[in-house]
Chains A and B, each alone.
Chain A
Amino acid sequence: MTPQDLLALAERVLADAAVGESMEVVTSWSRETEVRAYDGEVEHLISSDSAGLGVRILVDGRQGTAWTGGLDEESMRACVADARDNVRFASVDPNAGLAEPDGCEAAKLDLFDSRLADESTESKIALAIELERRVLDGDPRIVGIESADYADSTSAAAIVSTNGIRVCSSETTSYLGAYVLAGDESETTSGFGFSVGRCGHDLSVDVAARDAVERAVAQLGATKVPSRRIPVVFDPYVTSQFIALVAEMLAGDAVIRGRSPFADRVGESVGSSLVTLFDDATNPLAPTASEVDGEGLACRRVPLIESGLLTGFMQNSYSARCAGVTSTGSAQRSSLQSPPSVGPFAVTLAPGGADADSIIASVGEGVLVRELAGLHSGVNTVSGDLSVGIEGLMIRGGELAEPVAEVTIASTIQKMLNNISIIGSDLTYFPWEATGVTVAIDDMALSGT
C-alpha cells in the first residue's frame, strides 16, 4: 500500500470521531523478505505483508486505545469501538491529549529507495548464500554458522488526528547479518557482522563477513582474568548500546514520573566535559532516521548533554505538557499496540578526534569491550546501577593482547559518564536507535577470578 492509501484509510476512520472526542488514527503497512542461507542452500525464505491500525481516543482528559492487525472494515470498526469503550475506565488527566501541530517543517530525508522494488528474489538469495560462503572461507578457524541472513522491508505509515495532524511517510531498509562460529575440539566462539542500507546496492557482503569472522576468531582462547578496577575501552557497537541506556534515562516520560536520576539536574554537570550527546533523527545516514515522530510532529535534532552539562530531555506531547515545555518530536511508537512513548531515533555521542588505535595506546593497561551480555538483567536505569557480562581483548602496554570472556564490568551509568576520558572519531551507524564511537572510560570494576 502507498502512504497515500494509508492516509486515505486513516482519514476515513477519523471521520467517525464523535463530537467532543479527540481522535488519533495510525495506519501502517509493510512488505518484508527474509532469506536465511545454510549449507549453500536456502534454509528459509519468508515473504510477508503486514498491515495494522491503531486508534487513540480522548474525551475530557480520559484516554483509551485499541489496535488491530487487519485492515478489513469489520476489524477497523471494532477497533474504534474498543478504543471508545476503553475511554470510560481511564482516570481524568488534565495533561492527557494529542499532539498539537507546531509549525515545525519536517526534513525531507529520502528514506525510500525505489531500486529495492526492482531487486529479484534470486538476487536476495544470492546475497545470503554469498555471505555464508564468504564467512566459511574467511578463516580456517571458522567451523560453522548459526545464521547468514538477508532481510529487507518496504514500509509506509500515516498518522491523522482531530488536532489537524496529517502526515504519511515511507521507507525501505535492507540488511545482511551473520552469526558465525569459530573454534576447535576444545572450544567454540561466536561473532557477529552486518551491513545495512536502503536497498541491496548499499549492502557489503565483505564488511558483514569480515566483521563476523574477525570477532569470532579474536575470541579464541579467551579466559577469565583476575578481578580489578580497570579502564575500559568500548568499541562503537558497545558504545551504541551504552548511550541507548543513557537516552532511556533522559526520556521525558521517565523524568516526569520520578524514574530518572537526572530529573532535577538540567544545567548541572552530568558527564565529563568531553561529552556532548544529542538525538538526531534527521541525519539521513542513520538507518533509523525519520521525518516525523510517532505523533506526526517533525523530527528534529534534540540536544541532551553539551560539554558535560545536561541541557534537557526528549519529550513527546504528553511528557512536554506535564513538564511545561514543548514536544521535541521524540514520540516513539515501537508498535501499534502501545501509545507513543518517549525515546531517541539516533542518539549520538559527538565524535572526538582520536582514532581507535591511539585510544588503545593512550589507555595503556585496560580492556577493550566488544560484546555485552545481560543489558536487561543487569542494568537499572532508575538507580543507574550497571553490571554486564563482557567479551573483548585485554589492553597491555598500549596494544591489544589476549581475549577475555566470562567476566563482568560494573559501575553506575552516572559515574561512567563522568569517567569518559577519550572519545573517538569513528562514528558508526547501527540498525537501532543509537550510533557509536570508540570511547575510553576510567575506573570500572571488573569481576573475574
Chain B
Amino acid sequence: MIEESIVKRVLAEAASTGADFAEVFAEDRRSSSALLDDGRIEELSSGRDRGAGIRVVVGESTGFAHTSDLSESGLLAAAATAAAAARASGSGQRSVDLSDGTHGVSNIRIAPYEVDKARKVELLVTANEVARSTGNSITQVSARYADSRRRILVANTDGLFSSDDQVRTMFSVSAVASGDTGMQTGRESVGRTIGFELFDEYDVSELAERAAQRALTKLAARPAPSGEVPVVIGPGGGGVMFHEACGHGLEADLVAKGASVFAGRLGDKVASELVTLVDDGTMAGEWGQFTIDDEGRPAQRNVLIQDGVLVDYMWDGLRARAEGRPSSGNGRRQSYRHLPMVRMTNTYLLGGTSTPEEILENTPDGVYIAHLGGGQVNTATGDFVFGMTEAYLIEGGRITEPLREGNLIGNGPAVLAAIDAVGNDFAMGSPGTCGKDGQGVPVGDGVPTLRVLSGLTIGGTAA
C-alpha cells in the first residue's frame, strides 16, 4: 500500500519534534452490498475508502491526523499536523528502523469481490421466496448481502512494520408477520471473516425460514413478565450478555479512569466458579477475528475470568505502555479516520458439564431466551441491558408460550455471581457491531446454554 522507505520518512517527520511514539496506520477498504426489499432488488452499492491515520504520542498526550492522500507529500503533511496536534516541542529521532513484523494473508477460498454480482442477487431472491413461503402471515421481507476487504498496514517508531488482509462476508434476512395482534418481526444473520464460501457453510433458505418462523411465532406471543425471574439463555447469541455484563468493564482504558465496576479487582472472585470468560481474536473465521490488531499487534487468546476469578483486563498499546506491560492485541479502530482504543474481539464463555435438558428440567419457572438482540452497559454502575428477540416462558421445567420482545436489566457483578448452571453445548452467536465512543467494530460472541438464577429483571408488561 505504501513503500517501506516512504513509511520511514513519514514516521521520522511525525517524530521529529520530540515524540515518544509515532505510528502510521494505512487502510484500503472496499465493500459491496446488495439489498432486497419489498420483493425487489433495490440496489447494489460499491464503496472504496483509503487513507492513513498518523498518531503521535508525547507524554500522556496523543495527536492524531488523517488523510485520504496516500502520496508521500500527503502523508508528510498529515504527519506534521499530527505532531503539531501532540504539541511536541523539541527535537526527536531523525530516522526510524523498521523490522519486518507480522503480515497476515486472508485464507479465503472464494474472493467475494470476484464473485459475479448475479450470484449475490440470487441469494437474496432465494431468501425472499423462502421467507414468504414460510407462512401466509409473512407480509414483508428484506434481505441484505455485504462483503468487505480491508487491507491495513501499521508501522511505528518501535520498529514495527506489519500488515493484514481482512475479508468479511455477511448475510441477513428480516421478516414481518402480520396478524390480529399487530405486526411482529424476525431477523437472522450470519457473518464470518471468510469469503464467499460462507454460503457453503450456511444455507440462506434455512436462515430465511428461521427469520420468518421467529416473526410468526411472536404473533401468538403474550406479554413478557415483569420483575426478577430465573433466566435460561440458549446457546449462541447469549454472549451478548457477557459482552455487556463484564466485557466493556474489562477494557483497560475505562478501568484506568475508574469508570468500571471491575477496576481494582484483579485476582478477586468476580463471578460464579462456573464462569471462564475468554476474549479471542485468533478464532479462525469468526466475525471479530484478525491476524494483527489495528496497532499491528498479533491477535491473542486472552483469558479474562478463570473459574470466576478476574485474571486480566483487555489492553491496547497506549494503556499497556502506560502500565509497562504488553498489549493484549485489543487495540482496534473503525477506520483510518479513528484513534484505536481497547475493544473486544470474539468474547465467549467456555462450556460446562450440564446438558441443556438438565438445566431446563431443573428450572421450574422462568424465562428461556432463544435469541438475543443487542445491549448496552453503563460501565461505571455496572448496570446493563440486553434485548430478547425470541423468548419463551418456562413452566414446570419445560419451554411453553412465546413472549413479546423486551429488555432485561441487571448489574454485571451480581449477574455473574448468580450463574448456577453452564451447559456443554457451546455455540457462537450472530455477527455483531460493537459501538464505543462513536466507533463501530465487528465482534463475535458465544455461550453454551446457561442459567442466571437471580439478578436479571425482565422488562415486560405482565403483572
- Chain A bound to chain B: yes
- Choose from B38, B47, B460 the contact partner of A447 (Cβ within 8 Å): B460
For residue A406, which residues in chain B have a CB less than 8 angstroms away from its CB?
383, 409-411, 457
- Given A44-B64, A227-B227; A190-B380 close (CB under 8 Å): yes
Q: Name B373's closest neighbour in chain A (CB-CB).
A: A377
Contact string against A for B residues 96-124, beta-carbon threshold 8 Å, 1 for contact and 0 otherwise: 00000000000000000000011011000
> Please, how many residues of chain B have a CB less than 8 angstroms from a CB on the other chain?
87
- Min Cβ gap B410→A in Å is 7
Contact A68 B48 (CB under 8 A): yes
Q: Name B31's closest neighbour in chain A (CB-CB).
A: A337
- Min Cβ gap A273→B in Å is 23
Q: Judge if B301 is at the interface, Cβ distance under 8 Å.
A: no
- Min Cβ gap B269→A in Å is 18
Q: Judge if A407 is at the interface, Cβ distance under 8 Å.
A: yes
- Choose from B65, B460, B463 the contact partner of A46 (Cβ within 8 Å): B65
Give Cα A116–Cα B439 distance, bound, in whole angstroms: 26
Contact B64 A384 (CB under 8 A): no
- Given A67-B45, A378-B405; A41-B184 close (CB under 8 Å): no
Q: Judge if B421 is at the interface, Cβ distance under 8 Å.
A: no
Q: Name A32's closest neighbour in chain B (CB-CB).
A: B337
- Choose from B38, B61, B81, B406 the contact partner of A385 (Cβ within 8 Å): B406
Main DSSP-derived SS at the B contact region? strand
For residue B406, which residues in chain A have a CB less than 8 angstroms away from its CB?
378, 385, 387, 408, 410
Residues 292 to 351 of chain B near chain A (Cβ within 8 Å): 337, 339
Residues 332 to 367 of chain A near chain B (Cβ within 8 Å): 337-339
- Choose from B38, B226, B405 the contact partner of A383 (Cβ within 8 Å): B405
Contact A65 B457 (CB under 8 A): no
- Choose from B51, B117, B372 the contact partner of A69 (Cβ within 8 Å): B51
Q: Judge if A165 is at the interface, Cβ distance under 8 Å.
A: no
- Given A47-B81, A190-B380; A380-B405 close (CB under 8 Å): yes
Give Cα A361–Cα B458 distance, bound, in whole angstroms: 30
Where the two chains meet, the residues of B that have a C-beta atom closer than 8 Å to any C-beta of A are 34, 37-51, 59-69, 81-82, 84-87, 117-118, 120-121, 139-140, 142, 176, 178, 182-185, 218, 224, 226-228, 254, 257-259, 261, 337, 339, 372-376, 378, 380-381, 383-387, 404-411, 437, 457-463
Nearest 9 Cβ contacts at the A-B interface? A377-B387, A408-B459, A378-B407, A387-B406, A69-B49, A374-B385, A86-B44, A91-B40, A82-B46
- Can you pick out 23 interface pairs between chain A and chain B where the beta carbons lie within 8 Å of each other? A41-B60, A44-B64, A47-B85, A50-B68, A64-B44, A64-B45, A67-B47, A68-B48, A69-B47, A86-B45, A86-B46, A88-B117, A146-B380, A188-B381, A227-B226, A227-B227, A257-B38, A374-B385, A376-B373, A387-B460, A389-B409, A445-B459, A445-B461
Where the two chains meet, the residues of A that have a C-beta atom closer than 8 Å to any C-beta of B are 38-39, 41-51, 63-72, 75, 78-79, 82-83, 85-86, 88-91, 93, 121, 143-147, 179, 181, 183, 187-190, 219, 222, 224, 227, 256-259, 261, 337-339, 373-378, 380, 382-385, 387-389, 391, 405-411, 445-449
